[in-house]
Amino acid sequence: MNQKRKTTAAQQPRLLDESRAIRTSLLSDALGKGGAMDHDMRCLSANCRMAGPAVTVRVHTADILMVGITLSQCPKGSVLVIDGQGELNTALWGEVTTLAARLKGLQGVVIDGAAAVRLYIPETGSSGMKTERLSFLRSVWRW
């Protein structure tokens, strides 16, 4: 008999820590190569390991309003996944959304669309930030 296992709230932090330790190539293999990102997705952070419940949104070209609404509904510890359908003409993410996500306690964001600004966020936890303009590209961020 096949039984579903339910993860308790007490188990979740341990499972998330263990998930962060798994290499993405192993996870992709274990999933039968399904669910992997395109090879042109790039990490824009020093550390891209993140794990948490995914909050997803699919948007049409330049629909930053839906990104903002979804971001406002994300619980602490989650990963925001934005499906911008690979459109690179208009940024779906930038400095203001990054700051809002950090303040909400999100683990990170995955964007299949354009991001206009890259933030270097010190690992020390200090509030100092430096910005650098980038060409639009598909990206993964973790702070």
> What are 105-137's pLDDT values in tens digits?
998 888 888 887 655 444 434 333 333 334 444
- Collect contacts of 18-26 with beta carbons under 8 A, ≥24 apart: 19/51, 20/49, 20/50, 20/51, 21/49
pLDDT of residue 9: 56
At residue 71 the predicted structure's pLDDT band, cuts being 50, 70 and 90, is very high
> What are 9-56's pLDDT values in tens digits?
556 788 878 877 888 778 778 878 766 666 677 777 767 778 888 999
Residue pair 71/41 in contact by the 8 Å Cβ criterion:
no
- Average pLDDT for 75-80: 92
pLDDT of residue 5: 59
Per DSSP, which regions of the chain are E strands? Answer: 42-43, 54-58, 79-83, 91-93, 108-120, 130-142
Q: Is residue 65 part of a domain?
A: yes
Q: Which domain holds residue 131?
A: 38-142
pTM: 0.72
Domain count, the chain: 1
pLDDT of residue 134: 41
106: nearest Cα among 74, 129, 81, 128? 74
Residue owning tokens 């203001």? 96
- CATH number of the domain enclosing 94: 3.50.30.40
List Cβ neighbours of 81 (8 Å cut-off, separation of 6 or more): 54, 55, 56, 57, 109, 110
Q: Is residue 42 part of a domain?
A: yes
92: nearest Cα among 57, 132, 55? 57
